[in-house]
Structure 1
Amino acid sequence: MPRFDFPVFGELYSQKMQDNIACVYFKSNIGNIVVLNRGFVMPFSKLDSLIEKGTETINTTLKRSVGLSGVVIISLSAMLPGIFVTPTFAAEIMGAGIWLAFIVAAAVVLPAAISKAELSSGMPSSGGSYVYLERTYGPLIGTISGLGLWASFLLKSGFALIGFSAYFLAVTTYFDIDMEMMVLSMSALVFITIVNILGVKKVKAIQTPVLLVTLGMLAITCVAAFLVDDFDGGRPFKAAFSTDLWTLAETSAFVFVAYAGVTKVAAIGGEVKDPEKNLPAGMLLSLLIATVIYSLIAYLMMAAIPGEWWFGEDGKVVENPIFVFAENVAGTEFGIFAACVSVLAMISMALAGILASSRFLYAMGQDKLLPPALERVHTKFETPHWPIIVTGVAMGLAIFFVPLKDVVKLASGFKIMIFIMINTCVIILRQTSERHGWDPSYKGALYPFMQIWGILAGLFLIYFIGTKAVVGASAAIVSGLLTYYLYGHKNAKIAQTPFQTILGKTEEKSE
């Protein structure tokens, strides 16, 4: 079957199963072709003969069942729970002006969201950032980034299951119930792993009502904040603009992880209907909504509650800020209700996290950089069950061994690095578009200034995360190198990449 010495890009106009053979039809830069299982390419005319001979196949394709509303729901479900943990840890650094740090972090995320919207419209497949980096830089960088992305998404989801225990503790204390929090976290992990195996529609069915209830609870809390006697709208404003630039940058780098979910949905691009339109629109709309919610809640909680309330009676940082906020502005009973909703929201976040992170392993399995079992799709549920199970087990280990604050820093550091690389992908693909046929249906505005801003601002924030970012990146690089040279190298599809074209290098095509 023919192979090409450069990635093939083009307009997807049909995808279906034909006699158990996964067929993806493209109008591409090399003519009308059919692509079988991402990488094996043949003309339309050859397909009939292949079917006539009979081919035994294993299902490695995912069903496209997620629309625009689903993209927004999954993105917001992956992002919004960040507000349930990060405010108090951010306030420990910056004080009452943290609302500005959320806006600055969003400004750094915006270029990556625009870049990823363009990349997802041109390569709408499961695996998201891993696929974009692998196709742009080659399998070595793809392996490093794929494992790193898997780990960072896994950590962020683990951070949700670690953080929700503080809210559940408020509920059990109120009702005088004795319960082991670690057992509860592990039980929730088993539940969300099973739901993910059952399918993306089941995930959406759970996330939709949880998201609506969460938004309703937050809206009521914000309205109640305006009515408290101690409300001082000037307090967070003065605190923000009396903070020095370095402290603002450090805080922005810390809360960056709260926005990681904005592009998380691209990891399930292979399951999105009309992805060329729905992925870009969904990601940018989700970022706008999340930025408004984050900054508004951070502003109001600091305006409504005086003093350094983010420190508890024991002198440690409070880990359930939304409960404290709701209790102070609307009473204990509503605070308990808010804590219950927060528990559901953070479980929903972990649900979306396993959904997205497992797709990196699935995509790497399809590219033969990881064992073939990881590319197989369950015949009944149409989900990559082995990547989901592996991700669930790894998340359990993270919950058991990694402290909450370290989880946030590790996840933030690597996500910033990946967002920097995503911005470089767009620059490279645009510069090599004639050679590699890069012509996505959506192209981001203000190119290349938006990408340059994202790269420079990202590098600036990495500096403030400190050694945790270096540790996280080093672990990803070492594990990626070992995986590639011990396993993936002998199976990798060696092709002329856009990055090599930029460098003026060529490679012999693989047979």
Structure 2
Amino acid sequence: MKKSRETSAPSLKRCFGLWETITINVGTVIGVGLFTLGANVVGLLGPWVFLATLLALGISIYPSLLYAEMGGALPYAGGTYQYASLGLGRPFGVLAGWNFIISMVSVASGEALAFAFYLRTLFQALGIPLPIGDRAVACLGLAGFLLLALRGVEWSGRLQNGFLFFFWGVALVWVCSMAPRLQFSYFAAGPGVTPQGFLPCVALVWWCFAGFETCCAMGEEIKHPQINLPRALFLAPFLVFAVNGLFQWVLVCIVPPEGLPALAGAAAPYAKGMELAGVAGFPLILLCLGIAFGGDFSTLNASVSAPARYLFTMARDGVLPAAFAKVHPKYHTPYVSILALGALMLLLVSTGSIDHIASLSLFATLLYYVIGIAAALGLRRRRPDLPRPYRAPLIRLGAPVSIAVYLLMMTQLEPSGAAMGAAWCVLGLAVCRPGRRSAGPAGSFPPPPLPPSLDEKAAMDREYRFWRAAVGIAVALVLALYAVAFLLSKG
């Protein structure tokens, strides 16, 4: 078991580069939100979903800059838990960490159910009856990723890249296969939109962006995190916007306006949209393959691994039982935390309800972001001498505005989700011991990772330039597609 040089606390193994740091972020996000509730919103807003997605991007950018600052300065496991413990006090750190855990556990559970829905649709398209139910399929999928998480982050990182590149490749072929069926005239019509109905839809679309900072949870497993963490966070919201925007654009272009309401309650909205458009055969098979084995798998991989790092860190710091801080002697993974949260994920899957899972996740996610944004201000005040490879601009203005926006979105949540979230917070404050002195990095930091060599830094810069250009092109393409569709719909 590895030991840090200044503490006897167990530590993790650094093996993620920039590619894995980006794909862990994006893979957490591109999944259950986009392919379930994010697509349900298309049924409510029609072409106006583009405006909701732009707003969701806008309210994600500045918080991602704050996390870039905090992640580069504190490159250890635990993310928002660590930042809030130092910047606001341990009780706020506990509350943030506790809510991150249930948020990601909910995402993993919802993603497993979404995988089951799209896998069943795939089998139906192939004319093969699936012999087991959706919940059993979801549990089997989760079990596979729990075993992968136990095995170690090297395999998780490699497979994460594979899942996402498979998804992007299949998505590109699917979009091309749908080109003959695109109807730009559908952008001229759509459901009526009121401000009262629009804000809850923005909150649901924003859930498709939530998790853009997941790499911060795994900061102790990223190589050269002072450089790679901020760079991944600069790119993540824009890459998520490009993928969400492209898929929503296709859905609006193929579903007749009178069919949009059917999307609002569909368990597999993209499959339902293709059914409404009269599309079957190869395009439907391709869609389900990409979503199930690319988008869903990438989210399951990331969201099974990340919350265990929070549970591990909180236990290492003494606020949760020490058993959760145990690290596997061979694989260097927090195996007790992974197994404990895996049991909770399976319990949520047994409910079979993505809507309730999403409501709980939205509340918890918004709450830990509010605490995380406030923590950035607190760290500037309490730890002004902390080395910061990157500093977010205009923090005295940007942070309060972001907090206000996220609190406004919390007012748009379903009462049941808020009630479940509040109950989870009470449970966390009851079982945790936030007053105990830290034994880990939140109290006495191990030495930061050594900087890269000149050759390593040059290679990292080339890699970042590639990603930055690719993401810029993707965003420009999506903006152009919407502009063309709106213009042609008026012609």
| TM-score between both structures, scaled by the size of structure 1 | 0.80
User: Which residue, 283, 290, 308 being the options, matches 1:334?
Assistant: 283
Q: For residues 456 and 64 of structure 1, do their structure 2 counterparts lie closer, same or farther at Cα, with a shift above 3 Å needed? A: same
Deviation, 1:227, is 2.8
**Aligned twin of 1:374:** 324
Alignment map for 1:145-184 (pairs within 5 Å): 145-174=96-125, 175-180=127-132, 181-184=134-137
Q: Which has the higher contact order (CA 8 A, sep 6+)?
A: 2
Is residue 42–residue 248 contact of structure 2 (8 Å, CA) maintained in 1?
A: no
Letter in 1 for 2:102: A
Gaps of 5+ in 1: 1-16, 24-34, 39-59, 498-511
Whether contact under 8 Å (1:217, 1:341) holds in the other structure is yes
* Match for residue 210 of structure 1 among 146, 163, 167: 163
Partners of 1:402 and 1:110 in 2: CA distance: 33
The answer as to 2:403 corresponding to 1:421 is no
Aligned 8 A contact 1:195 1:202 in 2: yes
Structure label with greater radius of gyration = 1
CA RMSD of aligned residues (A): 2.6
Percent identical residues: 19
Q: Which whole-Å CA distance do the structure 1 matches of 2:342 and 2:46 have between them? A: 36
Correspondence 1:228 to 2:199? no
143, 146, 149: which is aligned to 2:94?
143
Considering fraction of residues, name the structure with more strand: 1
SS of aligned partner of 2:267: coil
Whether the 8 Å CA contact 2:101–2:311 is kept in 1: the answer is yes
1:22 aligned to 2:11? no
The answer to whether the 8 A contact 1:354-1:392 is kept is: yes
**Alignment-derived partner of residue 467 in structure 1:** 415
Work out whether residues 109 and 419 of structure 1, in 8 Å CA contact, stay in contact via their aligned partners in 2: no
Contact 2:26 2:212 in 1 (8 A): yes
1:130-186: CA deviations, max 9, x gaps? 111122222222222222110111001111011121111112223232322222111
**Does the 8 A contact of 2:163 with 2:297 survive in 1?**
no
Contact 1:94 1:247 in 2 (8 A): no
Deviation (angstroms), 1:199: 0.7
Paired AA for residue 149 in structure 1: F
Letter of the 1:133 partner, please give it.
A
Q: Aligned ranges for residues 320-469 of structure 1 at < 5 Å?
A: 320-325=268-273, 328=277, 331-344=280-293, 345-401=295-351, 403-434=353-384, 437-469=385-417
Distance 2:400 2:393 in 1: 13
Aligned equivalents of 1:490 and 1:445: distance in 2?
34
In 1, the alpha carbon distance for the partners of 2:137 and 2:388 equals: 45
3-state SS of the aligned residue for 2:110? helix
Q: What letter corresponds to residue 200 of structure 1 in structure 2?
A: V
Q: Distance in 1 between matches of 2:413 and 2:321?
A: 34
Aligned to 2:7: 36
CA distance in 2, matches of 1:164, 1:21: 38
CA distance 1:300–1:320, shift in 2 (3 Å):
same
- Which of 299, 302, 309 in structure 1 is aligned with 2:252? 302
Unaligned stretches of 5+ in structure 2? 444-491
**Structure 2 residue aligned with 1:509:** none
1:18-54 per-position Cα deviation (integer Å, ceiling 9, x unaligned): xx6421xxxxxxxxxxx3257xxxxxxxxxxxxxxxx
Task: Give the aligned partner of residue 10 of structure 1.
Answer: none
Which residue is equivalent to 2:73? 122
How far apart are residue 201 of structure 1 and its match? 1.2
4+ residue segments displaced more than 6 Å? 493-497
Is the CA contact (8 Å cut-off) linking 2:69 and 2:392 kept in structure 1?
A: yes
Paired position in structure 1 for 2:210: 260
SS of match in other structure, 1:476: helix
Give 1:226 shift. 3.9
C-alpha distance after superposition, 1:181-222 (max 9, x if no partner): 222111111110000000111112222222112112222333
Change in Cα spacing, 1:169 to 1:183, as seen in structure 2 (3 Å) is same
Q: 1:398 to 1:496 in 2, by over 3 A?
A: closer
Aligned match of 2:83 in 132, 139, 160? 132
Between the aligned partners of 1:147 and 1:109, the Cα distance in structure 2 is 21
What's the secondary structure of 1:379's corresponding residue? Answer: coil
Aligned letter for 1:178?
A: L
Q: How far apart in 1 are the matches of 2:187 and 2:110?
A: 32
